[in-house]
Structure 1
Amino acid sequence: MISSSFCYRVGIAGAGAFAEFLAAALAPLPSFHLTAVAGRTDEKRRRVIAAYHSRNPQIDGVREYRQAEELINDPHLDIVILTTPPHLHAPLAKRALETGKHVLLEKPGGLTAETLRANIELAENRRRALAVNLVLRYHPLIEAICQLIRHSSLGDVDYASLHNAVHRVANGHWFWDERQSGGIFIEHGVHFFEVGRHWFGEAAKAQGFALHEQNGTRPRVGATVIHENNGRLVPVHYYHGFTMDPTAPESTHWHIHTKRGRIVLDGWIPMQLSVSGLVSADEAAYIDALLDAIPKQPYADAIEPMRHAADRLAPPVASPAAPRIPYERTITLSDRHGWYEAIAQARFLDFCRLIENQNERGLVTAEDAAADLALAEACTAADEPSRVR
């Protein structure tokens, strides 16, 4: 990944908490110049602008709009970042593309894969860049697991699960109105479907469920997806629960079970990777070298050392007769917020490359985002599971 050599005039439409985070995270990048913000209230807009100025105090004059459409019509913008609720993603992206803007969408990019794909086609016809802000694959721990799976370092994957338990969103928030959010899998789960597709292959089958509460919300959802890669089937269970008390710590865990061991990844922003199992001496050396390449400090190009190590290292040829020894190692990172900012920066810089070179596809493509959204739709159940009698 390379830094952009251009400075883009960026408008952010939607002035919520994520817009505030993004303005601060991207402010240090020379390619990012916050030029306009759209939000319903003066207070929200000014919080986003203040977050930007906290990291880039030299630049003033950010224009303010109350409506996203007003920002989109600003002729002095190169890029529009849409951080509005999901039901507005598709119509606002369409309008921005029609006015000649490049568009970076907060996930999911639309309520349906069909509407997202329509905007992908429009972007191609208008020669504009379009991407969805799916960031997890820019994290080096995600890339490390990809390499371990790809080379069967612990044997083939048999089964995996994702457990994502987070704080309950306040009652009355648009998140609970599935006409606006699409539901948990669409609004939130696409992040993890993107990782699952990257690790285990495309989805061949999917079935989901949702559990209702008395207030009409569906805060607990789950799905079993059968992923397929080169003819090998891997069942993966995905669970998301927005039920936790605000004082309790949130938890996100991937568990990947293989023929000869297990891989565990902790954190919504991944912060700890544990690898254990039976391996040959050559396999142990390979895994150690790969894990040694993981950067300990966050920065936007942090997956590049992983890729270079993977290119440089020759995976050992598996031999059933080779003696195997127990292997166990854990990598723990620090500075969670710094890593979140780093992967957001990596996503934006990757988006800039799409603008600058029409032959670029990017690490996470718009087509990837559409496939993630299609899978989220397939897993979004209308009712809770039938009772077994």
Structure 2
Amino acid sequence: MISSFFRYRVGIAGAGAFAEFLAGALAPLPSFQLAAVAGRTDAKRQRVIDAYRRRQPQAGDVREYREAEQLIVDPHVDIVILTTPPHLHAPLAERALEEGKHVLLEKPGGLTAEALRANIQLAARQNRALAVNLVLRYHPLTEAVKQLIHRALLGPVDYASLHNAAHRVAKGHWFWDERRSGGIFIEHGVHFFEVGRHWFGEAVTAQGFALREQDGTQPRVGATVIHENNGRRIPVHYYHGFTMDPAASESTHWDIHTKRGRIVLDGWIPTQLSVSGLVTDEEAACIDAWLDAIPTKPSADAIEQLQQAADRLLPPTEPSAAPRRPYERTVVLSDRHGWYEAIAQTRFLDFCRLIENPSWRVLVTAEDAAADLSLAETCTVTDKAVDPLDIR
């Protein structure tokens, strides 16, 4: 399993809701010790510390700083996790790397791919580990979809779409200030570009749009990206809307259409995978064996279990003249929060292995994150946003 051989003293810079989640999620790991928190208010810092101590009641003191720069120079911190707004990612990561810290960045890792790549180069010169906290590929259902696609068990992919409908972020939040967030694709969409690149191949062309509201915000954005995988080009449409009433249910939905069927993945943290189409008996047996191998309980080694099962259960698929029959099956995973914690843990442990072995191939590299950010930049529309009143 992915594991770490050492205990790391970790400082979290940025004391918002995600920092609070992360402190609690990582607390059970023997490799994680929360050593310091930086945040602008006492209350926010305390919430992060409380989340950690609920899972580690015997933990020692956690140092508190108001400014991230104070935490970065703390000699008792080995790893800096940056959970600040995106416009601070690149300069704070640069400062931490110069101080000799290992750095795990919340996504996107910077407002531009150029800035992130500069820090990747700095990390290499400093012999420090750097990664971006992109977690969706660490989820077993995401890996399950990859295997179904790459093994072409339902034929080649023709088209796919990602629909992400989220709650409206409060007015005045830094999320709406593109100088600080970069916009929806940069601040949020990189998660899904990472999955799309993993499933469908690198992007060869991309074009985005944004719809501007009368208050000046752009809560609805979309893009059409042409990915290429082994010479086959696949159009994928990405939509994000931060418009939903807080009382309504959010929804995130991947819909993948293949030559002989359909794959549907539901949930921002995936909870349901549906597979349907025409398959031979041999293909049905392969799909069943693969879906049976999906771990049902959250754990930090779930993704590695599934990757090992892929080699054991799925032989290379060759064209078959055997008759095909309808196939349909759905896998549902409960405990969404538990899975969110598990994939955050796996990401952190993967990062720790990179610290311990610089040649370790992490599942999502810093270079992957830079490619995701570059694609997000290409799809981001600012001064050309569409005014809804101009649509006829």
Q: TM-score, normalised by structure 1?
A: 0.98
Task: Identify the residue that residue 216 of structure 1 maps to in structure 2.
Answer: 216
Task: Identify the residue that residue 77 of structure 2 maps to in structure 1.
Answer: 77
Residue aligned with 1:193, SS: helix
Task: Identify the residue that residue 353 of structure 1 maps to in structure 2.
Answer: 353
Amino acid at match of 1:335: D
Residue aligned with 1:239, SS: strand
C-alpha distance in 1 between matches for 2:275 and 2:245: 31
Task: Identify the residue that residue 256 of structure 2 maps to in structure 1.
Answer: 256
Task: Identify the residue that residue 269 of structure 2 maps to in structure 1.
Answer: 269
C-alpha distance in 2 between matches for 1:294 and 1:143: 9
Task: Identify the residue that residue 22 of structure 1 maps to in structure 2.
Answer: 22
C-alpha distance in 2 between matches for 1:322 and 1:40: 65
Residue aligned with 1:289, SS: helix
C-alpha distance in 1 between matches for 2:93 and 2:370: 14
C-alpha distance in 1 between matches for 2:218 and 2:39: 28
Deviations 1:145-164 (A, max 9, x none): 00000110000000000000
Amino acid at match of 1:219: P
In the TM superposition, 1:373-388 aligns within 5 A as 373-382=373-382, 383-384=384-385
Task: Decide whether aligned partners of structure 1 residues 311 and 320 sit closer, same or farther in structure 2, where only a CA change above 3 A counts.
Answer: closer
User: How far off its partner does 1:96 sit?
Assistant: 0.1
User: How far off its partner does 1:361 sit?
Assistant: 2.4
Task: Identify the residue that residue 117 of structure 2 maps to in structure 1.
Answer: 117
Task: Identify the residue that residue 199 of structure 1 maps to in structure 2.
Answer: 199
Amino acid at match of 1:384: A
In the TM superposition, 1:167-186 aligns within 5 A as 167-186=167-186
User: How far off its partner does 1:325 sit?
Assistant: 0.4
Deviations 1:256-300 (A, max 9, x none): 000000000000000000000000000000000000000110001
User: How far off its partner does 1:388 sit?
Assistant: 8.5
Q: Which runs of no fewer than 5 residues in structure 2 stay unpaired? A: none
Instruction: Assess if the C-alpha contact under 8 Å between 2:151 and 2:317 holds in 1.
Output: no
Residue aligned with 1:359, SS: coil
Deviations 1:100-159 (A, max 9, x none): 000000000000000000000000000000000000000000000000001100000000
C-alpha distance in 1 between matches for 2:303 and 2:278: 27
User: How far off its partner does 1:36 sit?
Assistant: 0.2
User: How far off its partner does 1:338 sit?
Assistant: 0.1
Instruction: Assess if the C-alpha contact under 8 Å between 1:132 and 1:369 holds in 2.
Output: yes
Task: Identify the residue that residue 129 of structure 2 maps to in structure 1.
Answer: 129
Amino acid at match of 2:208: G
Deviations 1:58-116 (A, max 9, x none): 11210000000000010111000000000000000000000000000000000000000
Q: Which runs of no fewer than 5 residues in structure 1 stay unpaired? A: none
Amino acid at match of 1:217: T
User: How far off its partner does 1:358 sit?
Assistant: 1.0
User: How far off its partner does 1:381 sit?
Assistant: 1.1
Residue aligned with 1:30, SS: coil
User: How far off its partner does 1:316 sit?
Assistant: 5.8
C-alpha distance in 2 between matches for 1:120 and 1:197: 20
C-alpha distance in 2 between matches for 1:224 and 1:317: 30
| Residue 233 (str. 1) matches residue 233 (str. 2) | yes
C-alpha distance in 2 between matches for 1:361 and 1:90: 23
User: How far off its partner does 1:235 sit?
Assistant: 0.3
Task: Identify the residue that residue 139 of structure 1 maps to in structure 2.
Answer: 139
Percent identity of equivalent pairs: 79
User: How far off its partner does 1:320 sit?
Assistant: 4.7
Instruction: Assess if the C-alpha contact under 8 Å between 1:286 and 1:316 holds in 2.
Output: no
Task: Identify the residue that residue 68 of structure 1 maps to in structure 2.
Answer: 68
Residue aligned with 1:210, SS: strand
C-alpha distance in 1 between matches for 2:150 and 2:317: 13
* Aligned residues: CA RMSD: 1.2
Deviations 1:308-360 (A, max 9, x none): 22111243644352100000000001000000000000000000000000111
Instruction: Assess if the C-alpha contact under 8 Å between 2:290 and 2:314 holds in 1.
Output: no
Amino acid at match of 1:255: D
Amino acid at match of 1:199: W
Task: Identify the residue that residue 294 of structure 1 maps to in structure 2.
Answer: 294
User: How far off its partner does 1:232 sit?
Assistant: 0.6
Amino acid at match of 1:240: H
Amino acid at match of 1:87: H
C-alpha distance in 2 between matches for 1:95 and 1:319: 54
Residue aligned with 1:238, SS: strand
Amino acid at match of 2:338: G
C-alpha distance in 2 between matches for 1:107 and 1:29: 22
Aligned residue pairs: how many? 389
Instruction: Assess if the C-alpha contact under 8 Å between 1:283 and 1:316 holds in 2.
Output: no
C-alpha distance in 2 between matches for 1:242 and 1:314: 39
Deviations 1:34-70 (A, max 9, x none): 0000000000000000000000011121000000000
Task: Decide whether aligned partners of structure 1 residues 314 and 299 sit closer, same or farther in structure 2, where only a CA change above 3 A counts.
Answer: closer
Residue aligned with 1:329, SS: strand
C-alpha distance in 1 between matches for 2:316 and 2:69: 56
Residue aligned with 2:302, SS: coil
Instruction: Assess if the C-alpha contact under 8 Å between 2:2 and 2:304 holds in 1.
Output: no
User: How far off its partner does 1:307 sit?
Assistant: 1.1
C-alpha distance in 2 between matches for 1:317 and 1:339: 31
